[in-house]
Amino acid sequence: MYTGGPMRWVAKAMIQKGISTLPRGEAVNYAIQRRVTRTLPVPDNRLLLRVDVALNHVRHYAEHGGGSLESARAFELGAGWELIGPMTLWMAGVERQLLVDVEPHVRLPLINHTLERFARLHGEIEARAGRELRRVPTAPLESLADLERRFGIVYEAPRDARDTGMEAGSFDLITSTWVLQHVPRADIAAILHESARLLSPGGVISHSIDMQDMFAFADPRISVWNFLRYGDRTWGLFNSALHFQNRLRARDYLELFREAGLELVVERPYVPDDVSALEALDLADRFKRDYAFEDLMPTTLLAAARHPR
Ligand SMILES: C[S@@+](CC[C@H](N)C(=O)[O-])C[C@H]1O[C@@H](n2cnc3c(N)ncnc32)[C@H](O)[C@@H]1O
């Protein structure tokens, strides 16, 4: 067991708790991410990971959807800061996208930075897609209206994906990238029910979920399964609204898809080659009791679904 002083991730968790109680927590968090931790903009390798996820969303629609990408009405929930996924969808041919977020994170300088990077990385992104893609024009956006005019992308925040108030059957491709792991279970159920209502016949819902303990990225001394050591009460001391982590496993998400009346067409949990850190972990009782060891192993999940025919 580690005994050499306070763990870096615990300090990080406490700072996040503090920020989440501030009245302008979102703005403070943004300033810290840009100027202190420098986690925004994300480095190129993280940008390309998001591009890969978005290309998977596109493939899911091509393989399981009922129409062309060009005519698809796309909806992304939890759009975040940089709009990397939506720009990838645009490159792939999607003409109409609505993005929503409960927090208005988007900022024009970050989007303009994304445009420049997409231009620079065009060849790399095409290689990953395995086909030709539209070239992103780099002229800076001056307003969100430009985003709609040039890319057909409408951004609405704050808007809650649990209850959008939009018409049933409005969308053909509904996606999220690295969102659901930050949402409590009951809210995911509400989001999936609402998504099932918004989905057109022949439409596809595609979600990418990162189930790793995010604190492992700030502290090399813990593994991506570390949070499974803690019972719910102790975990509640570390978990904050700012970067809430629900700790659900792949099995739980697949169950939630089914409960929403969706037919799963893609189930791709990813298990790292080396799970020795999980084997060595002193699991909290509830993870020992309620899950088989194999259920705890996957670190990411890519899942897509449609309405049962
Ligand atoms: C970790 S960020 C992911 C951002 C982006 N998709 C990406 O790949 O960088 C999760 C986002 O989901 C949003 N979110 C959480 N719950 C939501 C909900 N019920 N409706 C809409 N957005 C939500 C958060 O505000 C946050 O911007």
Name all domains of the chain by residue range, CATH numbers in brackets. 41-211+248-306 (3.40.50.150)
257 lines ligand 1 (CB under 6 A): no
Confidence of residue 240 (pLDDT cuts 50, 70, 90): confident
Q: Which of 40, 16, 56 is nearest to 303 (CA)?
A: 56
Q: Tell me, what's the pLDDT at 12?
A: 84
Q: Give the C-alpha separation, 269 to 279, whole Å.
A: 18
Q: Tell me, what's the pLDDT at 4?
A: 53
Task: Give 79 Cα–ligand 1 centroid separation in angstroms.
Answer: 6
Q: Give the C-alpha separation, 260 to 5, whole Å.
A: 46
Its sign, for the CA torsion 253, 256, 258, 261, is negative
Residue 46 confidence (pLDDT) above 70: yes
Mutation pick for ligand 1 pocket among 52, 87, 179 (CB with most ligand atoms within 8 Å): 179
Task: Give 188 Cα–ligand 1 centroid separation in angstroms.
Answer: 12
Confidence of residue 5 (pLDDT cuts 50, 70, 90): low
Residue 1 confidence (pLDDT) above 80: no
The chain-wide mean pLDDT, for the chain, equals 93
CB 194 within 8 A of CB 183: no
The atom of ligand 1 lying closest to the CA of 76 is 6
Residue 51 confidence (pLDDT) above 60: yes
Q: What is the pLDDT of residues 252-309, one digit of tens each?
A: 999 999 999 999 999 999 999 999 999 999 999 999 999 999 999 999 999 999 998 7
100 lines ligand 1 (CB under 6 A): yes
Q: Tell me, what's the pLDDT at 39?
A: 75
Tokens of 139: 């002229």
